Structure 1
Amino acid sequence: MSAPLNPNTQIARALRRPGFAAIVSVLILAEIVSAFELSMMYVTLPTLIKEFQVDANTVVWVVTAYLLVSASAGVMGGRFGDMYGRRKVLVVVLIIAGAGSLVSLLGGSLGMIILGRAIQGVAGAVMGLAFGLAREHLAEARIPVGVSMIGASALIAGAGGALLAGIMIDVYSWHGIFAFAAVLAIVAAVAIWFVIPRDIVVKNHEKPDYLGSLLLPIAVSAILLGLSHSSKSGFGSIEFIGLMGGGVAVSLLWVWWELRVESPIVNLRMFKNRQIALVMTATVLAALGPVGGMAVPSQMVMQYPTATGFGLGFTATSAGMLGFVTAFVGYLFSPLGGRMAHRFGARLIFITGLLLMALVIPVILLTFGNVVMFVVAMSVNGIGISLTYGALPNVLIEAVPQTHTSETAGTNTMVRNVGQSAASAIGAYILASHQNPATTVVAQEGISLAFVVVLTFAVLSVLVALLMRRNPVPWVPESVTERNARRGRTDEMPANAGGEAKVTTIERL
């Protein structure tokens, strides 16, 4: 790691710093990789169910495996970025994600697809690193618009993933999806390497929380696995009780460890800040609801035949095209959302986005089989997601210091991905419970119940967001010395030892 540069060198680098468009463009490209790798599998689920002759509970793990690894990768990536340099870590993350795509491509079985998807999950670190780099390199007045565009790019990338997946399935096969994802990840890594200025870091003594990063996915996986198998084994089975009990026990162990370790993977102390706690809670509720819970039942609605009474009879390509168009409509609102957040506050835009997503669900439930109303509802949903994703980083930035941007954004990515993992498991359980074993077709009652659950979490997310303050009190991280004093220790640690939060980047001039 390099030592601080002298003022003349800093000035020279500042003069060579790329402009707003270049920085935001490559960071959007990196975020597209992450969002594309997540969303490209949703439209593929009906095809994989038929090809591998499995139920919804099994095939949904191609999504869940990605999300589980992504949860840990989000916080670990943010921590590593703050410690060793965000640009360097982002490039490594993109290369690993590309390797995961190759594993899924060459494996040829559902098990290998799931394994490759788990490796791809390291891309969950992208968003936190991208927000940190944007805040580090953009002028202060341009940060709200920049992070809004980066955050909302997940929406258009997700739609593009669904469209490409649909085309690949109809024209070729699901193999082409992973080939494209691998190429995209490498292109993004090269772009970041050549466009983003080199990291300037100072040496620090923080040690990564490897145990915490291992316990978290184990706990969540056990709980989700127990939930996904409950449709077959039942809630009173030894398997369900064992998995759920083990998951809860490991979760408690993880919390205990995170509160004691000096450099935790998730700084749970940040949740003492009212604004951060409310933002994280609203995020996980939205992930359980419209952000994570809409994808599976909406794909069933689009691709099921009209004879079911609720299906629209779309091909995989048509479903992907509809998703892309409605998401593109939403993405057009991302710059406007960023400017409105700068003028009126990110809280208002965040609440507006959540409210729009909640309002479209009753429309879908009441107009099953109506193509026009479904398209309108999904377009409004796209606008809601765009505003929510665009406002979310700005809401967090208002409450955290720059040195902890990637860490906090990574934690938010973690809770969102855990929520989406749970949403996938809950949705799969509901659909599998209403699935005909012979035809694998899900009854309308199952689709409706899945949407009602999504609506419940959507309403809760709005209510929590309304509790956020317009002018939040910023979070001030507690130093090691302060923590030791609070714990009553007399053997005060040396300065800059252990897990003290230190500035790892030098502000550009």
Structure 2
Amino acid sequence: MSFANLRKTGTLQNLKRPGFAAVVTVLILAEVVSAFELSMMYVTLPTLIREFHVDASTVAWVVTAYLLVSASAGVMGGRFGDMYGRRKVMVIVLVIACVGSLVSLIGGSLGMIILGRAIQGTAGALMGLAFGLAREHLAKERIPVGVSMIGASALIAGAGGAFIAGFMIQVFSWHLIFIFSAVLALVAAVAILAVIPRDTLVPSREKPDYLGAVLLPIAVSAILLALSSVSKTGFGSVEFLGLIAAGIVVAAVWVWWELRIESPIVNLRMFKNRQIALVMTATMLAAIGPIGGMSVPTQMVLQYPTTLGFGLGFTPAAAGIFSALTAVVGYLFSPLGGKLAFRFGARSVFIAGLTLMAIVIPVILLSYGSVVAFCLAMALNGIGISLTFGALPNVLIEAIPETHTSETAGTNTMVRNIGQSAATAIGAIILAGYQDPKTTIVAQGGISASFVFVLVFAVLAVVVAVLLKRHPVPWIPETTQERAIRRGTPAEAPAMAAD
């Protein structure tokens, strides 16, 4: 959607532009909803395991369900934003997220919590929409800093989520976290309506790709369910093989469908651009590794008793405070990350952030039981995540046209969320293999195996990031004429091009 489609009520330059601080603040608030709803559950997992008497691989679905829906919501929301207006779509998403929190609150069972978490997963659309609105309403020279702060807000929100959830669990009840998240979503919706100007894009006539949005999470869910069940059923079981086969078939149908239709949920042809393909690959590897795979074993180390030799004996509230403080340290680097990206290039900052996260893991493995070493490692990890999240949108922006910002950012969010869902599911399988069925405690070997798994993917992410070009060739989307010719209807091409 080009700016030629702006309503003729005035040019873009004549529209009153809200201030930098106001725009960034409300967009950060919106992104905080998404990040908080994810992070608040990590510190809650040990409590839910005890509350519902289930193993780690089962309770992990309160996170996995959120991430799977979030994966589709990220790209669907991005396309809806480009088609119908980002402000409008963002407000709708925030309201749906509020409903999901209420479902989890009043459900009364683990199954209903998982259902509510799936509904909350629509908040995965918020980051892509926020990037699009920032690019739309900020001055050009302020965009790198703005998107860096918005991207890195996920870090501080994650810290806040851990702190607030830990405090509420210890002092009150885990139910209260869903009340808080519902109120937060409504406050963010009101703030967006108050600060961000009305959308000026003419509604698009493109048909949303509902089938693609449904097929993608089904394919990923089938594969993750197979992996979750393998410890009980075995690799040769009918259940495992059937779920794997179903996931692969549905994934193949999804790819065929996405390449066939006019307006796919994921424009797979963008992956022909080398820079975009490498960014998405690095994002996936980092999501499976340090971004998505650290949270569960980290919370176990924090909350397990010191008598085990590797636990630090923190209460849920203390674990939340610890996570908050280390993340705040990282968030302080987000403006610096944006400035460094503007001066030296987002690629360099992206590589630095990924490298820092990879270095942290050996420090943790070599310092079990040391609060000081663990604090240092997690502070460095927070800085690494901040630099990575801050640089990532700028790396993407350098390789895409402005009219496809939300779509591409949404696709990147989808890739990250699929990676995080895989990390949560696979990590839970690793931990469950070392879990005592009576005490639900995971042995040190399981914690170490989980961190080693993270380290492998962290190193791979760094390797891929190094392959990024300093001055990439931007992706040029397919024109209507080129699309008509590819589809074998060249006779329609001139008329379509004239439009």
Instruction: Assess same fold via TM > 0.5.
Output: yes
Give CA deviations for 1:295-315 in whole Å, capped at 9, x if unaligned: 001111011111111111110
Q: Distance in 1 between matches of 2:341 and 2:416?
A: 21
Q: Distance in 2 between matches of 1:130 and 1:403?
A: 14
Question: Which residue of structure 1 lines up, in the alignment, with residue 485 of structure 2?
Answer: 485
Please state whether the residue corresponding to 2:264 is helix, strand or coil: coil
Q: 1:88-487 counterparts in 2 under 5 A? A: 88-487=88-487
Give the conservation status (yes or no) of the 8 Å contact 1:127–1:409: yes
Deviation at 1:5, TM superposition (A): 3.6
Deviation at 1:495, TM superposition (A): 5.3
Q: Distance in 1 between matches of 2:456 and 2:55?
A: 25
Give CA deviations for 1:3-60 in whole Å, capped at 9, x if unaligned: 8444657565x2x321000000000000000000010000000000001000001100
Question: Which residue of structure 1 lines up, in the alignment, with residue 54 of structure 2?
Answer: 54
Q: Distance in 2 between matches of 1:83 and 1:7?
A: 19
Code of the aligned partner of 2:40: M
Change (3 A) 1:3 1:140: closer
Q: Distance in 2 between matches of 1:56 and 1:11?
A: 54
Give the conservation status (yes or no) of the 8 Å contact 2:482–2:493: no
Please state whether the residue corresponding to 1:200 is helix, strand or coil: coil
Q: CA RMSD in A?
A: 1.7
Change (3 A) 1:349 1:125: same
- Runs (5+) with no aligned partner, structure 2: none
Q: Distance in 1 between matches of 2:254 and 2:106?
A: 35
Give the conservation status (yes or no) of the 8 Å contact 2:363–2:373: yes
Question: Which residue of structure 2 lines up, in the alignment, with residue 506 of structure 1?
Answer: none
Give the conservation status (yes or no) of the 8 Å contact 1:204–1:496: no
Give CA deviations for 1:263-322 in whole Å, capped at 9, x if unaligned: 110000000000000000000000000000000011110111111111111100111111
Q: Distance in 1 between matches of 2:238 and 2:47?
A: 32
Q: Among all aligned residue pairs of Structure 1 and Structure 2, give the percentage whose two residues are the same amino acid.
A: 74
Code of the aligned partner of 1:122: T
Deviation at 1:108, TM superposition (A): 1.4
Give CA deviations for 1:97-146 in whole Å, capped at 9, x if unaligned: 01100111111111111110000000000000000000011010000000
Poorly superposed stretches of 4+, deviation over 4 Å: 7-12, 493-497
The TM-score with structure 2 as length reference comes to 0.97
Q: Distance in 2 between matches of 1:134 and 1:378?
A: 30
Code of the aligned partner of 1:450: S
Give the conservation status (yes or no) of the 8 Å contact 1:205–1:496: no
The TM-score with structure 1 as length reference comes to 0.95
Q: Distance in 2 between matches of 1:469 and 1:182?
A: 42
Deviation at 1:496, TM superposition (A): 6.0
Q: Distance in 2 between matches of 1:282 and 1:363?
A: 23
Question: Which residue of structure 2 lines up, in the alignment, with residue 505 of structure 1?
Answer: none
Q: Distance in 2 between matches of 1:484 and 1:232?
A: 51
Deviation at 1:480, TM superposition (A): 2.7
Q: Distance in 1 between matches of 2:433 and 2:236?
A: 16
Give CA deviations for 1:389-426 in whole Å, capped at 9, x if unaligned: 00000000000001000000000000000000000011
Q: Distance in 1 between matches of 2:234 and 2:258?
A: 33
Pair 1:79 & 2:79 matched: yes
Q: Distance in 1 between matches of 2:496 and 2:197?
A: 26
Change (3 A) 1:495 1:171: farther
Give the conservation status (yes or no) of the 8 Å contact 2:23–2:195: yes
Q: Distance in 2 between matches of 1:8 and 1:163?
A: 46
Q: Distance in 2 between matches of 1:261 and 1:275?
A: 24
Q: Distance in 1 between matches of 2:154 and 2:496?
A: 37
Please state whether the residue corresponding to 1:207 is helix, strand or coil: coil
Q: Distance in 2 between matches of 1:494 and 1:234?
A: 58
Q: Distance in 2 between matches of 1:42 and 1:480?
A: 45
Give the conservation status (yes or no) of the 8 Å contact 2:61–2:114: yes
Give the conservation status (yes or no) of the 8 Å contact 2:85–2:203: no
Please state whether the residue corresponding to 2:163 is helix, strand or coil: helix
Give the conservation status (yes or no) of the 8 Å contact 1:327–1:382: yes
Deviation at 1:235, TM superposition (A): 1.3
